[in-house]
């Protein structure tokens, strides 16, 4: 008891003197998705601001590790001081049926960040990542086969549930029907607590997208155009160090996408057209998809 009292008095002295030691806190904001839309780039670029802190690997607490408990979740966070902002990123939360409710139960006022991009491009990027991971166990069927063909023999998922000729049941396609997932987030959080990042503009004009996100987090923006450069090979944005050298995100980012047959691209555009309009109306923002 005496030891606890001494610790308490020590903490009071530190607070009164303006010196509060850093500690691990639950996040102030979570980047919940969307997978393959630029969530990693967003977080890395936000770290230009010294007040933004984040854990290293994706935590996946609210979808895969919820049974480990809140104290386990807190331990995954970095130590922060008062005035600093902790951000977690797990892009699979966006299409999780349980994540919105679980996050709200932790903190109904938490800030939610969602990165979206053209769902056709997103699906191709998703396929490109999956196919690169499966080279060790055999090549995947072509994107065309997965998107509009018969992929049931390869996937356990019911990917042959077709809508307008497209395998709407395939995960790479299903995730891009944004309005169906977005509804769950709006059912649990007010729109002012949700910030939408344009994944296409994050590539073409990262400084503006990062500044807008900093403001959403309640921080004074520090991101400027001179903080960014472009990978000469991948044409993907990179951070620019003080010496002018580029710090890019690694070989897994900005992968070359396969050329997709025009007929399949048209089918996907037709499929996503009405779905995109529902999303635009839901978030009150029009994207050029």
| CATH classification of the domain holding 131 | 3.40.50.300
User: Considering the domain boundaries, does residue 132 fall inside one?
Assistant: yes
Q: What is the pLDDT of residues 11-55, one digit of tens each?
A: 555 555 556 789 999 999 999 999 999 999 999 999 999 999 999
Query: Among the residues of the chain, which ranges form H helices?
Result: 2-16, 39-46, 70-75, 99-106, 119-133, 143-148, 171-174, 178-188, 199-204, 206-216, 262-283
pLDDT at 1 over 60: no
* Predicted confidence band of residue 7 (pLDDT cuts 50, 70, 90): very low
The Cα-based distances of 35 to 88, 164, 268 in angstroms read 14, 24, 18
Residues that constitute the known binding site: 36-40, 117, 125, 253-257
DSSP 249-267: --TTSSPPPPP--HHHHHH
User: Considering the domain boundaries, does residue 127 fall inside one?
Assistant: yes
Q: What is the pLDDT of residues 247-269, one digit of tens each?
A: 888 766 656 778 999 999 999 99
State how many domains the chain has. 1
Structure tokens at 55: 């854990």
Rounded distance, CA 280 to CA 243, Å? 41
User: Considering the domain boundaries, does residue 29 fall inside one?
Assistant: yes
pTM of the model: 0.89
| Pairing verdict, β 162-163 and 166-167 | antiparallel
User: Considering the domain boundaries, does residue 5 fall inside one?
Assistant: no
Active site residues: 36
User: Do 251 and 150 touch, CB atoms closer than 8 A?
Assistant: no
pLDDT at 134 over 80: no
pLDDT at 137 over 70: no
Residues that constitute the known binding site for 3'-phosphoadenylyl sulfate: 36-40, 117, 125, 253-257
User: Considering the domain boundaries, does residue 214 fall inside one?
Assistant: yes
pLDDT at 9 over 60: no
User: Considering the domain boundaries, does residue 124 fall inside one?
Assistant: yes
Residue 52: which domain range? 21-283
Q: What is the pLDDT of residues 78-115, one digit of tens each?
A: 999 999 999 999 999 999 999 999 999 999 999 999 99
User: Considering the domain boundaries, does residue 12 fall inside one?
Assistant: no
User: Considering the domain boundaries, does residue 158 fall inside one?
Assistant: yes
């Amino acid at each position: 008891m005496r030891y606890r009292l001494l610790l308490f008095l020590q903490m009071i002295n530190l607070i009164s003197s303006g010196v509060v030691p850093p500690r691990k806190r639950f996040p102030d904001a979570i980047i919940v998705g969307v997978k393959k839309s630029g969530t990693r780039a967003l977080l890395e670029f936000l770290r230009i601001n010294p007040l933004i802190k984040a854990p290293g690997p994706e935590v996946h607490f609210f979808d895969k590790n919820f049974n480990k408990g809140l104290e386990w979740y807190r331990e995954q966070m970095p130590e922060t001081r008062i005035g600093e902002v902790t951000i977690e990123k797990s892009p699979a939360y966006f299409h999780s049926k349980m994540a919105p409710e679980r996050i709200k139960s932790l903190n109904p006022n938490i800030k939610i960040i969602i990165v979206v991009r053209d769902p056709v491009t997103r699906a191709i990027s998703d396929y490109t990542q999956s196919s690169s991971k499966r080279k060790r166990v055999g090549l995947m069927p072509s994107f065309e086969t997965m998107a509009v063909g018969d992929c049931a023999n390869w996937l356990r998922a019911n990917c042959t549930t077709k809508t307008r000729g497209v395998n709407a049941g395939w995960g790479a396609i299903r995730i891009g029907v944004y309005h169906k997932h977005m509804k769950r987030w709006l059912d649990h959080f007010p729109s002012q607590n949700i910030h939408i990042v344009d994944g296409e503009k994050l590539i073409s004009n990262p400084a503006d997208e990062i500044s807008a996100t900093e403001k959403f987090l309640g921080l004074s923006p520090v991101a400027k155009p001179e903080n960014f450069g472009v990978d000469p090979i991948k044409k993907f944005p990179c951070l620019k160090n003080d010496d002018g050298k580029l710090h890019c995100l690694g070989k897994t980012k900005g992968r070359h996408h396969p050329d997709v047959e025009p007929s399949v691209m048209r089918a996907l555009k037709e499929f996503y057209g009405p779905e995109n309009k529902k999303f635009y109306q839901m978030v009150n923002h029009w994207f050029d998809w």
